[in-house]
Amino acid sequence: MRSRKSPPCWKSCISCWKSGAGKRSSLFSPAPVARKLKRSGVDLLAGRLLLRTMHPFMAAEMGAQFDPHRALRVGLIPLVVDSISPDQTLQAYVDLYLREEVQAEALVRNIGDFSRFLEAVSLSHAGQLSVSDVSRECQVGRKTVEGFLQILEDLLLAFRIPSFSRRARRQVVQHPKLYLADTGLFQALRPRGPLDSDREIGGAALEGLIAQNLRAWIGYSIEPRELFFWRTRTGLEVDFVVYGPNVFAAIEVKGSDTIHPRDLKGVTAFLEEYPEAKGMLLYGGRERLKIGAVRCLPWDEFLSELRPDAALP
């Protein structure tokens, strides 16, 4: 297990540890530094280094200490998880790193535009990304928004999931879905008001928590796997599609304690399109069920059993 004291980000430094004379060295380059070096034309030793990404904690990594409701509220960034005041630590992380550190690294010229962008982009968390909508919401030009999105991805603070379209017989949408790298970041950035329902925000938070754990599971596993979503032009949707040499699964996420027939509509349609796949519904209840061809299990149990190099629970 990773050290619980490991920070989620480092400032402008590169630590190089040598295991001994004549042995190979391990070079650790934090995301802001790697981005800065790449932009300045420094040799990043392509082909001589292995690319590895550290993610927020996985639920299985925390064992019995994993609290699903706390994870939905403050996320799984190690620094926040270990804090005695997680909400304050999370807010400080957002204010000091996402805003001040980004400005200090001269990654953006106008921190006000970037702050408005962060709030606007949080509205797209767990949804299809429309750069035009984000641009209009934060009143910043489209090209500037595209640059801000690239900064978030370069700093490993956001990621996109493409649409699954292999051998598609139905017309599917092409715009990717966007996720902030941690549910806690989403909760800290998401503006709230009379028009924002707890159910809407909670649903996006849960989907993001599943997404970041699946992404870490894929990233830490040796066997290559890819993460997609599926949505047809007529509105049929599956939140996640996991595709690889030995896995092909459609995963739908629902926060409710009970399962309604409409909850299975997207997964069932996907299985009709791709009978080779396995269908799964993650929900807030406590029973493990099988409804038709779809396995239904509690989402917190799924996360607790999701381990690198192991099959899906």
pLDDT bucket at 53, cuts 50 / 70 / 90: confident
Q: Could you give the 3-state DSSP secondary structure of residue 87?
A: helix
Please measure the distance between the N-terminal and C-terminal CA atoms of the chain and give it in whole angstroms: 20
**Domain regions of the chain by residue span:** 57-305
Rounded distance, CA 131 to CA 149, Å?
9
- Close Cβ partners of 164 (under 8 Å, ≥ 6 residues apart): 172, 228, 229, 230, 241, 243
- 193 residue type, one letter: G
Q: Determine the pLDDT at residue 11.
A: 36
Rounded distance, CA 248 to CA 231, Å?
16
Rounded distance, CA 165 to CA 2, Å?
36
Condensed to tens digits (0 to 9), the pLDDT of residues 82-128 reads: 999 999 999 998 887 777 767 666 577 777 888 889 999 999 999 99
Q: Determine the pLDDT at residue 105.
A: 61
pLDDT bucket at 294, cuts 50 / 70 / 90: very high
